[in-house]
Amino acid sequence: MPAYHSALPHPDARVINGIPLVPLVTKVRGPAPYADPSLTYDAISEAIDLFRPNSMFKNFEIKGNGDRLLIYAILFISQCLSKLRANTSVAEATKSLHSLAVTNVVIPADPSFPLQQMYPPVADRGEADQLRQYLSQLRQEIVLRLIATIYVADGQPSQFPSKWWLSFQKRHFMGKSMK
């Protein structure tokens, strides 16, 4: 069975380091183009939806730049889940994951990125800084949406994370994880 790939079109998005700078539905300030507020499904929604099935795969064929953004988001979601415990409250999770999102933002061009060989190099330092700002904004929005997704039980907000989501803590996409 093949892995799930990005289905969102990114025909006119600017691409840096193989990652398209796509519009995001977000309230977090940053360089990302603003998407139409009536849009209900964007790259972050897609990454959260595809995280669970894709975390089962050890191989992933990149079919476009949208897949590179999806890989980055899935690796970050996995990193977020590794920081949570069964008794982590919403407030604690929000604080620790927001701190994770804004500190040490690794871009695919950095040597410490686990799948660096799957991404083309960055043209110059200015592009690297712009990509780092975009990915910081993406990570902050992922944290906001992930907490809203994980801290739900029977359709109602919960004080503790879903055990079902926490079961994916030990699963790593392609056997890799961001540190």
Is pTM beyond 0.85? Reply is yes
Average pLDDT, the chain: 90
State the DSSP code for 6: -
b/e code 119-151 from CB counts within 10 Å (16+ = b) = beebeeeebbebbbebbbbbbbbbbbbbbebbb
pLDDT tens-digit series, residues 97-115: 999 999 989 999 998 888 8
pLDDT tens-digit series, residues 45-86: 999 999 988 888 888 888 989 999 999 999 999 999 999 999
